[in-house]
Amino acid sequence: MGILQGIRGSIARAFRGLRSRAASVLKSLRRSPSPLADRLLSDALRITEIPSPTEREEQRAAFVMKQLGTLGLNPISDDAGNIMVRLTCQRPDHSQPLLVFADLSSNRWHPLESLSRLDATHAYGAGLADALGSAALLSIAETMLSGQIATRKDIILLFTAGPLTDPSSDMFKRLADDPQFSPGTALGIRGISLGTIAPNPLGTYRIKVQIRTDTDTQGASPGSAVEVTVELARALSGVTWDAEKKTMCFIRRVEAGTGFGRLPTEGIVDIELESSDAAVLQMAMKAAIATAETKGKEAKAQTTVTIAGHVPVGDPAVGAALVKLLKEALKDQHLKVVEDNGADPASFFSSLGIPAVSIAIASGHEGLNQDQIEIASIDKGRRILVTMIERISAEGA
């Protein structure tokens, strides 16, 4: 036991040493050093290592509050753990502020895989892509306070303590209704897919179905959870939700099984519905839940269905001017523009009549066990974000 504890202690000390040297390693590795981009990645690496998801994201929030305090800012936090700070420009035009928001949490944290590593061109770590958004907001605070952003709009930075798709959260609605903080424009920041935009964002419902087959009170032997989950996945994937085929159903996860010699009695099916029609999406959500419950009863299984996430259908007309600005900013950085009309959390605002669009900070790959981020792309993403802020102010978008 003592040997194992010694090994764990040695590993922990080694990783702490690597973390403390992250900034100097970044500086030596980059071909074209950019201090702001280096600090952005350094902050992302540190956020990635902090356990998540947790209630109110206290540890990650403490890091963000400390960084903002170091800059001389006084952020506020609500009961849910969301952090907000207002960056006041020197000569405001007294218009509504610009909101820049990102998710502070991650559902892909791992005690070892989230201890990131670097080489000459890439950074690696589980959940690293999720941390880039919050790190970008910290970078914007530093850039604005140093006078490197030319804007006449106040900027509100919002770090949400839960997933942006959380169906129980009314944070965005409360913000839009608040006369003091209601934004005139909103920018959502995500980690990867730099160059990808969603000019016609879809709405989505994410549904989790949990199945148990060992709850038969009649004394019958339990059935196989594998068979029930597979049958449910087949039933949902074969449904035509509307004649125009505006609505699609994706099976994101099917998980059941215990190994040879043991009967699997628990299973999970994750379902994602996407549509460009809000009414049809609502109908499809109710139909999918009813189908899951019916299949469970037919199999004499206990079925628990929950809505795990929701993003409303965006209004393309409301965000059209922003999409145009973003395309121009991407081309200025010589990046290829890729249109992918999936679900976009910025739709929470465009559905309320507030122009909004999402921006990625880096290029890379979000993997099952770890993410791979192209270090050189981070500075391009940061520059695009700064350009968008300046052009929104200049053009009154």
Kindly list the structural domains of the chain, giving each domain's residue range(s) and its CATH number in brackets, ordered by start.
Answer: 32-200+314-395 (3.40.630.10), 203-311 (3.30.70.360)
pLDDT in tens, 360-386: 999 999 998 899 999 999 999 999 999
Identify which of 227, 247, 248, 245 has the alpha carbon closest to the alpha carbon of residue 237: 248
pLDDT at 162 exceeding the cut of 80: yes
Please indicate, yes or no, whether the overall pTM of this predicted structure exceeds 0.85. Answer: yes
Identify which of 345, 285, 283, 337 has the alpha carbon closest to the alpha carbon of residue 314: 345
Exposure class string for 182-209: b at 16+ Cβ within 10 A, else e: bbebbbbbbbbbbbbbbbbbbbbbbbbb
| C-alpha radius of gyration, the chain, whole number | 23
Tell me the C-alpha distance between 186 and 347, whole Å: 10
- Name the band, by pLDDT with cuts 50, 70 and 90, for residue 221: low
pLDDT in tens, 27-38: 544 444 589 999
pLDDT score of 271: 93
